[in-house]
Structure 1
Amino acid sequence: MSDLEIWLIIILLTIATVINRSAFWLIGHHINLPRRVQEALRYAPSCALAAIVAPDLFISDNQLVTSLHNPKLIASVAAVVFYFWKKDMLLTILFGMGVFTLVRLYF
């Protein structure tokens, strides 16, 4: 691929991104989403986060890992239990990372 082709692709992708992201800003006030769609969009960030985190927890070396030798899975379960107990996100992150480090060093 030549330098000209690479720069052309970068410029076209930049234009596409700007158009895509500014569309709701430019015409957002003129379009009203149905109430049901607005309620469904409330769950989009948590679904996106789950889609990012879940494969990292359960897949290692392109294989499904659900055994007790998976330090990420053990730490995440411990962090969820800790969160339901303390209801503090910062402490949960610290606790989960501590458990992950200890389990990873143990195995």
Structure 2
Amino acid sequence: MSELEIWAVIGVLCVATLAARSSLWLVGHRISIPKRVQEMLRFAPACALAAIIAPDILMSAGGQLQTSLVNPKLLAAIAATGFYLWRKNMLQTIVVGMLVFTLLRLATGG
């Protein structure tokens, strides 16, 4: 690809992103979203986060599914989830999860 083509692609992607993001802002007051769809959209961020985090926790570097209890990421995620259910504090949950993960990695030498 030439430099001109690269800049053209970047420009087209900018316009497409701007159009997609501004479309609801420009005509959003004319469109009414059904209550059922609004209820479903509440769960979209949690689903997106799970789709990003789950493969990182459950897959090894080689792309194999790793669900055994020797997986330090899985154990740290379980500990962080339990801590969050107990304390309901996101910052402390992140600290506990990372602490458990670090300790497990140091203990296993990996």
C-alpha distance in structure 2 between counterparts of 1:51 and 1:106, whole Å = 29
Instruction: Give me the whole-angstrom Cα distance separating, in 1, the residues matched to 2:29 and 2:104.
Output: 51
Under a length normalisation based on structure 2, what TM-score does the superposition of the two structures give?
0.93
State the 1:90 CA deviation. 1.4
- How much is the aligned-residue C-alpha RMSD, in angstroms? 0.8
Identity %: 60
Q: What one-letter code is carried by the residue in structure 1 that aligns with 2:105?
A: R
Gapped runs of 5+ residues in structure 1? none
How many residues matched? Answer: 107
Corresponding residue for residue 103 of structure 2 = 102
Distance 1:106 1:86 in 2: 26
- Separation of aligned partners in 1, 2:16 and 2:85: 43
* TM superposition outliers: structure 1 runs of 4+ over 6 Å: none
| Matching residue of 2:29 | 29
Question: Partner of 1:63: helix, strand, or coil?
Answer: coil
- Long gaps (5+) in structure 2: none
- Taking CA–CA contacts closer than 8 Å with sequence separation of 6 or more, which of the two structures ends up with the larger relative contact order? 1
Deviations, residues 35-83 of structure 1 (Å, cap 9, x unaligned): 1111110110101111111111101121100112211100000111111
Q: Measure the CA separation in 1 of the matches of 2:20 and 2:42.
A: 20
Distance apart, 1:91 and its partner CA: 1.2
2:30 is paired with a residue whose SS is coil
